[in-house]
Amino acid sequence: MTGFLDAPDRAAVPFWQAVTGYGLSDWRADGTFATLLPPAGDAFLRVQVVGDGPARAHLDLHVDDLPAAAYRATAVGAKVVEIAEGLTVLRSPAGLLFCLVEWAGESVRPGGRHSLVDQVCLDLPEAVHDREVEFWGALTGWERGFSDLPEFSYLVRPDGMPLRLLLQRTGGETAGMHLDVACDDVDAEVARHVGLGARVVRRVPGDWTTLVDPAGREYCVTGRPPFRA
């Protein structure tokens, strides 16, 4: 699974390099996307310049049989948006954009001493929550786990998978996705991000802080240990 940071320009790319400590590959596809390169383990974050806003996140699921995976995805409720060589773009029942891409053998999860991007949170309004949870469980085949907080559940990722899926029941009417950074000290990590150019939106003491990156994209710094399952 790969997390994509989509934005109308490259303004926030240096910020995410600094946050993660990762290098940056050459820009590809006419300068529209690049990979954040961890010092060890397989890459799992990419940045992409898209033609529209606002800045947002999406997922790529890496599969070993693209046509079969696309068929299974549509069978459980996805709708195909575009088919290209080595890539199928789809939307979930709630309209969340994701891609199926050909797996290249990635299997080693990068580590992190004090902080690590390790989760994608699906923000699901009440009206679509149950259907969307069912969809992502069926799509991935991952078992559902439950949090101490009633608005959160998650899908248990396999060994070596760099990103976990958190499922959040929210207010509002529109589903979305955002990245979560796990860390061993939320206050220190938030201060580091602010120093790099982020802005704090809200704090939940002892649990997480929501920030906005330089492109205006929300994400969270959480007190989840970086190596938790």
**Structural domains of the chain in order of their starting residue, each with its CATH number:** 2-102 (3.10.180.10), 115-222 (3.10.180.10)
Tell the residue number behind the tokens 């699921």, with chain if given. 61
Contact 154, 162 (CB under 8 A): no
Instruction: For residue 165, give the amino acid letter.
Output: L
**Structure token digits, residue 16:** 């995410």
> Which residues is 63 bridged to in the sheet?
102
Whether this model's pTM surpasses 0.85: yes
State residue 121's pLDDT score.
98
Give pLDDT tens digits for 107-119.
999 987 799 999 9
Q: How many Cβ atoms are within 10 Å of 91's Cβ, its own excluded?
A: 16
> Taking all residues of the chain, what is their mean pLDDT, rounded to a whole number?
95
3-state secondary structure of 58: strand
DSSP 158: P
State residue 226's pLDDT score.
79
Give pLDDT tens digits for 69-107.
999 999 999 999 999 999 999 999 999 999 999 999 999
What is the spatial order of strands in the sheet that 56-63 belongs to?
A: 23-24, 33-37, 45-49, 2-7, 56-63, 97-102, 87-91, 79-84
